[in-house]
Chains A and B, each alone.
Chain A
Amino acid sequence: MLAESCIERILDQAVSCGADYAEVFFENVERTRVDLVDSEVARCACGCESGIGIRVFRGLESEYLYSADVREECVLGLIRKHLGTGGVFGKRTPLSRFTPHGIVTQGKLPRDRKLKEKIGHLKEAVDAGKREEACIVQGRAYYVDADQRVQIANTEGVYAQDQRVRSRVRFMMTAAKEGGAGRQTGYIGPGAMQGPEFLESEEFLEYAREAARNAKGMLGARPCPAGRMPVIISNGFGGLFFHEACGHSLEGSAVASGCSEFAGRLGQKIASEKVTLIDDGSIAGEWGSLGIDDEGILTQKNVLIEGGVLKGYLLDRLNARRMGLKPTGSSRRENYRFAPAPRMTNTYIAPGPDRLADMIGSTERGLFVKNINAGSVDPVTGEFNFNTGETYLIEKGKITIPVMSATLIGTGGEILPRVDMVSDNFALGHGYCYAGSGQLPIGAGQPAVRITEMTVGGKEL
């Protein structure tokens, strides 16, 4: 980590260019990645990376510099060359340390376990998954852990350090019919703000088994029928639906420029009264959490939609400045090479009063989506799309046959008012979000939710 005096000199150099705000972000991260195919390590990457990012504001304009060379002389030289020195010397409040939320639930760090021990756990899990169902022809595990330490300081006197320890695995179990035909792959991707305890937990083997059961469940899946129909999205990572359908459209980058479909609509009803959407980066132990955001602001629970009414946006310092509002502890970046931007952390729909059995029982014909693979959205138009994983047809109030992955499309403005049932079986899933400030770990969750009608894309009419 950098010495505090060094950070102070860097800030002083940055504001000497005439900026009214300057910020330093330093990180050091140790990371392990293992890609296991059946019992063999296909790929492995282990190492450490550090770097520094300096950002300045001049009114509503921002400039960002970054470097892997963190030696003071090089950083100061970079600032002099690209930001200049000829402006009015900006003000700087003396640095004052504060403590982030303690959100890492662990006793150990990733480096406290040898790589071969971790690989041993992964092999055990893949084997467990393959034994779970006879039709599994290949088991794959993609594992990553990281110990990221950051220092953040700015000219408003903020000085904080944070440590983010994360572990995640993605199991991919491929099932095939006899003769190897009709392959289907089941995916599960749990993660946590934890060290090696994650691999050693009782649930770890069960994740692989669940991926195997998912794969088997999809064998014999028929092409998904296309058209407009009710869709029930199951709990857990089904929450990615709302992450895409409205979450990105509530991030400050889209809202502040007026480009989001929800810009300028605070206080208006934008969803059914069953919908309460929350983003909370302060939940201890969760994959998408962080003790402070990447601008040094404490993370917090942000209620974005309450009973269908738009209550707030996710804002970083710059967009909060643009909108005359307060930042919400939502500023994130993949690493020092990115300027931070307002992004989601753990985003979820609050539990409701309904029951999943009633949702299914009252659906004449529709889809039951057990999990979602991925999706994307255009925040300007609100158009989103998802690709589903394990999916079933609902016919006459019962789950019947598995169907191949479908594409769900719509716009946030169209779909949010069509949520007519929200169940009580909440769960939080884990994944990654890819946007302007890089790839980020995120949580996405919900209880089961029914949407009265949406467009389903498939090969059959």
Chain B
Amino acid sequence: MMTEEGKEARRQKMETMAAAWEDPELTAFMEWLGEQGFTDIRLFISARRLVFLAVQCQELKRHEYGHSRMYIVEAAWKGEYCCAYASSLTDGSRAEIVRRLKETAGVYINREIPQGIAESKDFRGQRWREIDQEAVGESLMCAEREALSCEKAHFVEMCEYRQYEETVVLLDGQMHYLADDDGDCTVTVRVVAKDGDSVAVATKSGIADGGGWEAGPRDNTHDWHSRNQQEEFREIVCGLARRAAEDARLGLHAQRIASGRYPIVIENCVMAELTGHYLPMFYGENLMHHTSALAGKEHEQVGCDLLRLEEDPFSRKGTCRRRIDDEGTPVSKKALLRNGVFENVLYNSKSGDKAGDGSTGNGFKPDVTADIGTSATNVILSSEAGTCSREELLQSVREGIYITKIEGMFAGGSTESGDFSLLASGNRIIDGKLGGAVNQFTISGNICELWKDIEMIGDDPVYRMADRACVVSPSVKAAGLMVSGE
């Protein structure tokens, strides 16, 4: 009979997946699968935790906490590859796993049987910190007050903290293991500005360093409850709130703009979003199936000389911290574009084997129950030859548009052709200075043409998430883009 302490310890161990490969329940499960007739068994376990806090009108409106887990089994059944998943290993779930494994055996053509793990390794390096909910809430309320104290700020629609952790463990039939983790904590503030009938909204989000997260081994000096940590967190959140309020104010009394072709400066967050949407153009399977605008253009000039796009899993500018991909292959730093030339393709095991190049450590699941696809870790857009300040970017434009927001990326951008047509808003640029706000126009073009037209690259990188990848980009200035307005 388990004591209350024992039950609590087991619950915590389940949540944190401290050493899954030592869990007798897992060992028993693997053995049991073998007894059912499955061979070459490989288990992928994902455990996730989430904390979420939202403040509105100086009250803590929403608080959420949760953890979830998924077991994905790959094996061979009568020599054929098979796979299935379940969120637990109860008797009912086990029966369902077996049913589904047998059902999927033979549906793939020439799918490789899962490989064993050569050497056990633990790559985990993140440390979830239990936050002081009251202190985080206080900081969010402080940020809300900060935003509302700004000129024309009417309402703070969103002021949220989110902390997320995922631990992944790969196990083979001999209980060899590979373990890794990832996570971050972010803050998002969305401010509504109002002046008469005019309403404008701006959103800012950022990594909440000093929040409930710590990269690297636990250090006793990193204590959330310490005054320094709380002050640092408050500074970050209030800074985001002030910038959101200011950007919202700048968006008031937006006018329509005449259709035409304009020189543009694309704000960092917009460029990060655009770049992130087109990452699939670098994926091996899309190039091989000719569903990428870069198909057939390997080692060709697809961007300007100034342009560098690089995957760097080890960069602190991005939020991804993975050291192995979801197939257990080590991640690596690689240039996607160097001096505007298409240098490297991203492969998982399947696409890499097909290409004859092998995996580049980019085999990731688009969601935990899905089959392996391709993705990236931190992808950073930078300049090969010097950067400019935002003021310098603006000063280089006599009459143009500063794009601060885009919508419709999901369906408005084709990775097959590189074309895009998106709703946009921003500010006029008149004689090198920011002018009045403009909205309700579309920008249309092609990403490769945009890359070629880049003339200046800024020094103000920010990050945006693009599915599994984290894209970091500064603001850029490009020669021209088609705008449809009045």
By a beta-carbon cutoff of 8 Å, the part of chain A in contact with chain B is 30-31, 33-35, 37, 40-41, 43-51, 53, 60-70, 73-74, 77-78, 82, 114-116, 119, 138, 180, 183, 185, 226-228, 257-259, 261, 337, 339, 373-376, 378, 380-381, 383-387, 404-407, 409-411, 455-459, 461
Interface status of B100 (Cβ within 8 A of chain A): yes
Out of B8, B11, B85, B439, name the residue touching A45 (CB < 8 Å): B85
Interface status of B391 (Cβ within 8 A of chain A): no
In the bound complex, what is the Cα–Cα distance between A455 and B259 (angstroms)?
11
Smallest CB gap from B108: residue in A: A41
Contact A41 B86 (CB under 8 A): no
In the bound complex, what is the Cα–Cα distance between A35 and B373 (angstroms)?
12
Interface status of B83 (Cβ within 8 A of chain A): yes
Interface membership of chain B positions 338-382, coded 1 if the CB is closer than 8 angstroms to chain A and 0 otherwise: 000000000000000000000000000000011101000000000
In the bound complex, what is the Cα–Cα distance between A190 and B64 (angstroms)?
35
By a beta-carbon cutoff of 8 Å, the part of chain B in contact with chain A is 7-8, 11, 14, 50, 56, 59-70, 72, 83-88, 93, 96-97, 100, 103-104, 106-109, 155, 157, 192, 199-201, 259-260, 289-290, 369-371, 373, 407-408, 410-412, 416-417, 419, 421-423, 425, 439-445, 482, 484-486
Smallest CB gap from A457: residue in B: B442
Q: Given the complex, which residues of B lie within 8 Å of A70, measured CB to CB?
A: 88
10 closest residue pairs by CB, A with B: A457-B442, A47-B85, A374-B411, A226-B484, A66-B66, A385-B423, A387-B411, A385-B408, A43-B371, A407-B421
List 17 A–B pairs whose Cβ atoms lie within 8 Å, in order of A's numbering.
Answer: A41-B108, A45-B85, A45-B371, A46-B103, A63-B64, A64-B62, A65-B66, A67-B66, A69-B67, A69-B69, A73-B7, A226-B484, A257-B56, A259-B157, A378-B201, A383-B439, A409-B440
Q: Given the complex, which residues of B lie within 8 Å of A457, measured CB to CB?
A: 421-423, 441-444, 484
- Per DSSP, chain B at the interface is strand
- Per DSSP, chain A at the interface is strand
Q: Besides the contacts A69-B88, A457-B423, what 4 more A-B pairs have beta carbons closer than 8 Å?
A: A50-B87, A61-B62, A66-B66, A407-B408
Contact B408 A386 (CB under 8 A): yes
In the bound complex, what is the Cα–Cα distance between A220 and B84 (angstroms)?
43
Contact B63 A63 (CB under 8 A): yes
Contact A406 B87 (CB under 8 A): no
Contact A45 B88 (CB under 8 A): no
Query: Quick one: given A45-B369, A47-B369, A257-B157, are A68 and B61 in contact (CB under 8 Å)?
Result: no
In the bound complex, what is the Cα–Cα distance between A185 and B482 (angstroms)?
24
Out of A46, A114, A383, name the residue touching B407 (CB < 8 Å): A383
Give chain B nearest CB distance to A262 CB in angstroms. Answer: 13
Contact A375 B440 (CB under 8 A): no
Contact B421 A259 (CB under 8 A): no
Out of B59, B93, B370, name the residue touching A61 (CB < 8 Å): B59
In the bound complex, what is the Cα–Cα distance between A408 and B109 (angstroms)?
42
In the bound complex, what is the Cα–Cα distance between A63 and B486 (angstroms)?
47
